[in-house]
Amino acid sequence: MAILTLALKSLWNRRLTAVLTVLAIAVSVMLLLGVEKVRTGAKSSFANTIAGTDLIVGARSGATQLLLYSVFRIGNATNNISWASYRRITRHPDVAWALPLSLGDSHRGYRVLGTTAAYFDHYRYGRRQNLAFEAGKPFEDLYDAVLGAEVAKALDYAMDDPLVITHGLGAEGFQKHDDKPFRVVGILEPTGTPLDRTIHISLEGMEAIHVDWQGGTRVPGLTVSAEEARQMNLTPKSVTAILIGLKSRFATFGLQRQINEDRREPLLAILPGVALQEMWDLMGTAEAALSAISIFVVASGLLGMLIMLLAGLGERRREMAILRSVGARPLHIFGLLVAEAALLTLVGAILGLALLYAGLTIAQPWIVAEYGLFLPIEAPSNRDLSLLGAVIGAGFLAGALPAWKACRQSLADGMIVRM
C-alpha cells in the first residue's frame, strides 16, 4: 500500500509525461479493441442478416459481390435477372418460395427494395427469426411502403407519412419520383441487420415509378400520373436477385448446378453460408494485418512508457537512495517502478476502453449509414477482456526492466549518492 501511494504521488509529480504516456496507451488500446469490435461486429452482423434462405440467385458475377449487394445492400449488381428466369425458378418443383429483389433506388440515403408481400412471411434473420411489425402491416396498395426500424427512427416517420423515392442511390439525388409519392403503411421491428435501413415497396410499385423513365432518366414528353400507372401492366421486366427457399435441403446442390448451367441466361446461384465463408477467407489476410498493426501500436505505446521510466531513472537515484535510507528494501524499489508502470497501463487501458465506447456511441450511426455495419454497444466480450488483460500484463512486464535497473542501481548506490 505504501508503495502504491508512493507510485501514485510520483506519477502525479510527473503528470505531464504521465498523462501523455497514458494517452498513448489509451489510443493504442482503443485501436486494438476497436479493430476487434469491427471484426466481431462485422462477422455477427453479416452472419445474422440472413437465415433460412437456401440459395441466392443473381446475374453471373462473383459470389461475394452477389451476397454483398443482395443481402447486405453493399455495392451494386452488374446486371439483372430477366422476369422469365424468375418465373422459371419459381415454377421449379423443388422451390418452396422465391423472393424477388429489385434494388437501385433510394430515399434520403436509405435503399429501397422492391419485392413481394411474401418477403415478410419467408425472410428470416438471426436465429431464423421472422420479421415482425412494430406498427402497420405489409404493403398492399401500389404506393404502400414498409420501413425498416432505423429508417423510421432516423427520419422520424410515422404511419401514413408520405415519402418520395429518389432515382439511384445518392443521398440527395436530383431525379426524384415525386409524381408518385408513397405512403408508410408499416414499420418493422429492429433486426440489427441492413433490413433496418431499408424501405420496402412492392415490385409493381417499383415498376410504376419507372414507367415513364428509360435509361435512368425521364422520357421527354411522356408523363404517366400515379393514377394512370395503376391501370398499366406493371409486371417487371427484370429483378436484381432472388432469394430461394427449397422444399428439401437435399435439392440445394442440384438446383444450384441447374441454375449455374442455364444456357438461356447467365445466372449465378450461391449458398449464403458458403459465400459468407469465402468472404471471411478473403478478409482473413486484411483482418490479420489490421490485428498486427494494432498490436504494434500497443507495443509502441508501452515502449513509450518504458522510455519514460528508463529516462527518469538517472534523475531519481537520489530518491531511491532516500527511500533505501528510511528502510525501503530493493523489492520496494522494484515494486515502486512496476507499480508506476502498472498504474500507467491500467489507467491507459481503462481510458482506452472508455474512448472506444465513447467513439462507438458517436460514430455508430455514421458507420451504419456509411458502411452498413452495425457495431453493437455492449459489455466487453471475454476476448476483449483477455486482450485488455494481455495489455496490462505486458505493461507489468515492460515496467520490470526499469524496475530491475532501478533495483540494481540502488544496490550499487547504497544510501549516499553524490550527484
Partner 1 sequence: MDMAGVELSELRFRWTGTGPLILDIDAFAVEAGARIFLRGPSGSGKTTLLNVIGGVATPQTGRICIGETEITELSPAARDRFRAERIGFIFQQFNLVPYLGLIENVTLPCRFSAQRREKASASRSLDQEARRLLTHMQLDPAELAGRSVATLSVGQQQRVAAARALIGSPDLIVADEPTSSIDADAREAFLNLLFDETRRTGATIIFVSHDTGLTEMFDRTVDLASINRAAPMQKHAA
Residues found near partner 1 in the complex (CB under 8 A): 2, 5-6, 9-10, 12-14, 318-319, 321-332, 414-416, 418-419
**Nearest approach, Cβ of 321 to partner 1 (angstroms)?**
8
CA distance 233 to 79: 23
Q: What is the DSSP letter of 177?
A: -
Residue 313 burial (C-beta neighbours within 10 Å; 0-12, 13-18, 19+): middle
Question: Among residues 9 and 127, whose Cβ is nearest to partner 1?
Answer: 9
| C-beta neighbour count of 29 within 10 angstroms | 28
Question: Among residues 6 and 355, whose Cβ is nearest to partner 1?
Answer: 6
For 53-87, give the DSSP string: --EEEEESS-HHHHHHHHHS--S--SS-EEHHHHH
Residues in the chain: 419
Question: Among residues 267 and 323, whose Cβ is nearest to partner 1?
Answer: 323
For 39-60, give the DSSP string: HHHHHHHHHHH-BS--EEEEES
Question: Among residues 162 and 414, whose Cβ is nearest to partner 1?
Answer: 414
**Nearest approach, Cβ of 16 to partner 1 (angstroms)?**
13
**Nearest approach, Cβ of 26 to partner 1 (angstroms)?**
23
**Nearest approach, Cβ of 324 to partner 1 (angstroms)?**
6
Question: Among residues 278 and 413, whose Cβ is nearest to partner 1?
Answer: 413
Question: Among residues 328 and 356, whose Cβ is nearest to partner 1?
Answer: 328
Cβ atoms 64, 275 nearer than 8 A: yes
CA distance 174 to 182: 18
**Nearest approach, Cβ of 17 to partner 1 (angstroms)?**
13
Question: Among residues 12 and 250, whose Cβ is nearest to partner 1?
Answer: 12
SS3 5: helix
Question: Among residues 16 and 419, whose Cβ is nearest to partner 1?
Answer: 419
SS3 99: strand
**Nearest approach, Cβ of 23 to partner 1 (angstroms)?**
21
Using the CB atoms, write b or e for 191-211: b if 16+ within 10 Å.
bbbbbbbbbbbbbbbbbbbbb
**Nearest approach, Cβ of 307 to partner 1 (angstroms)?**
20
Q: What is the DSSP letter of 166?
A: B
**Nearest approach, Cβ of 277 to partner 1 (angstroms)?**
57
